[in-house]
Each structure stands twice: as structure tokens, then as C-alpha cells.
Amino acid sequence: MTQGTLRKMRTELADPVHYQLPVGETLIDLNSLLGQEISLVYSGRIFCIECARKTNKSFNQGYCFPCLRRLAACDTCIVRPELCHYHEGTCREPQWGEAYCMQPHVVYLANSSGLKVGITRKTQVPTRWIDQGAIQALPIVEVDTRLQSGLIETALKSTVNDKTDWRRMLKGGQTEIDLKLEWEQLRISSEALLTDCQSQFGASTVRLKEHEEPTRICYPVLHYPEKIKAFNFDKEKSVKGTLEGIKGQYLILDQGVLNIRKFAGYEISFTVF
């Protein structure tokens, strides 16, 4: 048995993706546990993933309320990057903004529950795609800042969906999409937008990806569920079942699925039977 607080699963692009589950200071190799019965029992205690203080409620996937109010990582512009206000001098933590937002970002097309557009920091490729459960992904534009990527994504999502249907993603069976063809068509329909962005920010800061090949991602899944039941530690303290797969940030058990990232900071006991 391993005890400690949960963190989002660590991933490595391989065939299939390699997953490790952080429980306290221990990293549990999940791929080797496929087909085995496991349990995660919640102690009833939550600790902020930033400051480690005990909290009665978790916000934004692991933060206490004071950190929610204080940290730039919890600001609205993290969810809506087109609202980034670093350039206005009002960032909660300018040094954090320099390290995370004023860095190269990638706008991409992905196939998770269908075609979607998204953004991520360049250093988070392919981690972001794996966390979303994408089976394919293709970078289409590279820019210098998070704000620029957010503005492009906002414009493109009038044509392409920007959300993942997590239930559909977890059922598997997604049909492959010709992402290069989708990008060619989107590029034609969005030519004026992309030209405007290059004029506004400078051609060198908005770089169209000309020769990228799609990344294909395979997940360690023995069986996909026919019906989706989501476990919730706020309602049930014990989650138990046979580990049938891992996809995105979800454990797929024969009795239901568990979103590990949602419960970051929750103190649990992990047991393999």
C-alpha cells in the first residue's frame, strides 16, 4: 500500500503511452498494473498542491482558496488565454508570466473526441495532447506568446470545435482524421485572419507550420467502457476495480473511470491486490 497526495499522472510518449501515478513521493508504474485489481481510498484530507496547507475544498484541480486568489496560474486568462493582460502590467506574478506565458506557444489540431483546435506552450508538446486523450495531433501555427495563441484559437474556434467530449474520448473507437487536409482547408478559409495576425504581431512572430507530420498516440487500454460512470471522491471515499486502461488523465476501471487530475491534492491510499 502506498499513501500520499495525488498529482496529475506523468506521461511519456511511447507505444503505448507510459503512465506513472504520483502518490506522495512515490511514482507508481501504471502500465504494469493493467488487468490487475487496484483500489484508491480517500482519507478525507486535501492539501493544496501549491502551498501544502490543508483545505476543506479544492479549486482549479488542486489549489486552496487563498492560492486561487493569489496565483497567476489560477487567473481567468489561463482558461481564456485571449484575455492575457501581462502586457498591461497587471499580471498577478510577472515573473511567472515571463516563464509561462511570454514563451513560444503552438496552435494545433487534434483528434480526441473528434476534430478540435487547441493551444499549448511549445515545451508541453506532446504532454498536452496526451492529457486530452488525443489519438492524433498536428501543430499548425507557432507564436511567441500565450496571448497570440489565444487570439488565433478564439478566431479559429468559430470554424473548429475547441472542446473535448471526455465521455466520447473514453469510449474509444475514434476514426482517424486527415489532419493535414483539415489544416489545408482551414488555412484557406482563415487566410485573412492569419494575415491580420502577422500584420498585427509581425510576420516573424506568427509562423505557419508548413511541413509538420501528425503525431499518432496509442494508449494502454485493454477494454474501453460501453457506459461511462465517473467516480468522485467527494461522494465516495473508496474506488476499486480492475485497471482496464489509462487515457488522458483518466484511469479506466471495470467499475467506472477516475479523473486523476481533478483530485490533485487529495490524500489517498493506493493498493494493488
Identify whether the C-beta of residue 132 lies closer than 8 Å to the C-beta of residue 110: yes
Domain ranges of the chain: 2-55+221-272, 106-216
Estimate the share of the chain in helix, then strand, then coil, as percent rounded to the nearest 5: 30, 30, 40
Question: Residue 32's pLDDT is what?
Answer: 97
Question: Residue 199's pLDDT is what?
Answer: 87
Question: Residue 99's pLDDT is what?
Answer: 95
pLDDT tens for each residue of 192-242: 888 888 888 888 889 998 889 999 999 999 999 989 999 999 999 999 999
Question: Residue 10's pLDDT is what?
Answer: 98
pLDDT tens for each residue of 131-168: 999 999 999 999 999 999 999 999 898 889 889 999 99
Identify whether the C-beta of residue 54 lies closer than 8 Å to the C-beta of residue 46: yes
Residue 77 CA: distances (Å) to CA of 2, 88, 147, 273? 36, 13, 9, 43
The reported pTM is 0.94
The yes-or-no verdict on residue 40 having pLDDT over 90 is yes
Question: Residue 115's pLDDT is what?
Answer: 95
pLDDT tens for each residue of 76-115: 999 999 999 998 999 999 999 999 999 999 999 999 999 9
The yes-or-no verdict on residue 58 having pLDDT over 90 is yes
Mean predicted confidence (pLDDT) in 169-190: 92
Closest to 112 measured CA to CA, from 90, 138, 88: 138
Question: Residue 196's pLDDT is what?
Answer: 87
Closest to 146 measured CA to CA, from 183, 120, 112: 120
At CB < 8 A and 24+ separation, what contacts does 62-65 make?
62/7, 62/264, 62/265, 63/265
| Nearby residues of 195 by Cβ (< 8 Å), 6 or more positions away | none
Residue 271 burial by Cβ neighbours in a 10 Å radius (0-12, 13-18, 19+):
middle
Confidence bin at 191 (pLDDT 50/70/90): confident
Question: Residue 194's pLDDT is what?
Answer: 85
Mean predicted confidence (pLDDT) in 119-129: 97
